[in-house]
Amino acid sequence: MRPIVAVVVRLVALVSGLALALVPAAAAAYAEVVSYANGYLAPTQGFASYTDDATYAGWCSAIYGAEIDKPAGYFATAALIAPDGSWRMSYRSTVSAVSVTVTPLTLTGARAYRKKAYGKNSDPRWVYAATTKLGRWVSNNPGCPIPVR
Amino acid sequence: MPSRPRRILLCVLCGVLFAPIAGAHVLRRAETPSLPGEPLSPLLVQTLRLDPASVRTLGIYSSRDGGDVDVVYGRRVGGAECLIAVGHGGTGAGCGGLFARGPVAILEGSSGGPKLERRSNLEVVGWARPNVARVAIVDTSGRTREAPLNENSAFVLEFGAAELQAGVGPAELVAEDKTGAELMRLDLSEPGS
């Protein structure tokens, strides 16, 4: 009887160990996806971006061409931009915070795009904030092809 | 091993085994698609930080590609109101003062791009205040398109791939009250156009 109990105890311990190893990984992935998808333009921000945006050398041109020159109308834009510069999906809105997510929401999907959110340039404060941050990034990344005004 | 410590050990091991399973169940629940009658999945509600009780469908529209575009309202826990569009394999949300720029809140969504000609679809999604009787969108060819308001004062106006490839997209939105007086005029043109 005792050897059987010992085997059962070891088996339970083994399964428990596996479960413990898997669930925190799933939870971390979930938290990372949600964290990634939660990025948006807050009212006090002129420009919002993610650290991994910097891995795409052409991201600033995509932003520049998309919205910085916009004359009037929309307040903010969010786009999922693939590494080749093409856009998967984008949203513009008259409100200050815009987000875009692809479904199903997976970590792989979230990592496949560089999400951008930025304001339009009709408000000088927003333009200043956007160009200042863009300029700072450009100065640290000489490959960025956009002249900063 | 004496029986009492063995029982305690078994209890601890069982707890260790079942707690993660319960946690994984919570994760699976969050990732499940929306149920019939629920416009957004629990994960989207969580991602957009919405108060689940505030979420309601404003309209469901059939798009030209055969799928649906759901127009949804939701309010964040912090109070910001959101206009949400679900369709074409994605979700867009605009949150803030929905009517700060006029009596029509707009959320424009596109697949593809960034150039208009490279987009496969474009939808102007809107939600109007009750005093708005008519919404029209002037496209870049000068044509005026009516955007019929539904019973919730929501609308979706779609531009198809053929139009977009021809360079035709939204240029301006005009909203009027029931007397025909203009309430709002909004530039919808693309950058550089």
Share of chain B above pLDDT 70, in %: 79
* Top-confidence residue, B138 or A68: B138
Q: Which of A132, A28, A110 is nearest to B23 (CA)?
A: A28
> Number of structural domains, chain B?
1
Share of chain B above pLDDT 90, in %: 54
pLDDT at B169: 95
Query: DSSP letter at B141?
Result: T
pLDDT at A50: 35
pLDDT at A133: 45
Is residue B152 situated within a structural domain?
yes
Q: Helix A2-37 and helix B3-31: axis angle, to 10°?
A: 30
Look up the pTM and report it. Answer: 0.64
SS3 of chain A: helix, strand, coil, percent, to 5:
50, 20, 35
> Number of structural domains, chain A?
2
Mean pLDDT of B173-190: 93
List the structure tokens of A66: 């998309």
Mean pLDDT of B103-117: 89
Is residue B170 situated within a structural domain?
yes
Tell whether A35 is within 8 A of chain B (Cβ): no
Q: Per-residue b/e over B83-119, b at no fewer than 16 CB within 10 Å?
A: bbbbbbebbbbbbbebeebbbbbbbbbbbbbbebeeb
Is residue B150 situated within a structural domain?
yes
What is the helix (H) or strand (E) element at residue B49, kind and residue range? none
Q: Is the pLDDT of residue B181 over 80?
A: yes
CA atoms of A97 and A77, how far apart (whole Å): 8
**Are A91 and A134 within one domain?**
yes
Tell whether A127 is within 8 A of chain B (Cβ): no
Is residue A82 situated within a structural domain?
yes
**Are A54 and A122 within one domain?**
yes
Q: Is the pLDDT of residue B134 over 90?
A: yes
pLDDT at B28: 34
Is residue A76 situated within a structural domain?
yes
Is residue A148 situated within a structural domain?
no
Q: A99 has which bridge partners?
A: B93
pLDDT at B39: 82
**Are A59 and A119 within one domain?**
yes
Is residue A147 situated within a structural domain?
no
Q: Which residues of B touch A15 (CB under 8 A)?
A: 17
Full residue range of the structural domain in which residue A89 is found: 40-140
Full residue range of the structural domain in which residue B130 is found: 50-187
Is residue B1 situated within a structural domain?
no
- Number of A to B CB contacts under 8 A, please give it: 173
Mark which residues 14-33 of B lie under 8 Å from A by CB: 14, 16-17, 20-21, 23-24, 27, 30-31
* Top-confidence residue, A50 or B124: B124
What is the helix (H) or strand (E) element at residue A18, kind and residue range? helix A2-37
**Are A59 and A126 within one domain?**
yes
pLDDT at B191: 56
Q: Which residues of B touch A98 (CB under 8 A)?
A: 92-95, 107
What backbone torsions phi and psi does residue A33 show, to the nearest 5 degrees?
A: -65, -45
pLDDT by position in tens, chain A (length 149): 566 667 666 755 555 554 444 445 444 433 433 333 333 333 333 333 333 333 333 333 333 323 333 334 555 667 666 655 567 778 888 776 677 766 554 545 544 554 444 443 333 333 334 444 444 444 554 433 333 22
pLDDT at B34: 53
Q: A93 has which bridge partners?
A: A76, B107
**Are A31 and A51 within one domain?**
no
CB contact under 8 A, A16 and B16: yes
Q: Which residues of A touch B49 (CB under 8 A)?
A: 38
Q: Which residues of B touch A74 (CB under 8 A)?
A: 106, 108, 188
CA atoms of A27 and B138, how far apart (whole Å): 47
CA atoms of B20 and B33, how far apart (whole Å): 22
pLDDT at B93: 85
**Are A32 and A45 within one domain?**
no
Is residue A31 situated within a structural domain?
yes
Is residue A73 situated within a structural domain?
yes
**Are A127 and A62 within one domain?**
yes
Mark which residues 124-183 of B lie under 8 Å from A by CB: none
**Are A119 and A47 within one domain?**
yes
CA atoms of B72 and B88, how far apart (whole Å): 15
Confirm if A126 and A133 have CB atoms less than 8 A apart: no
**Are A66 and A95 within one domain?**
yes
Mean pLDDT of B33-60: 81
Three-class SS of residue B187?
Answer: strand
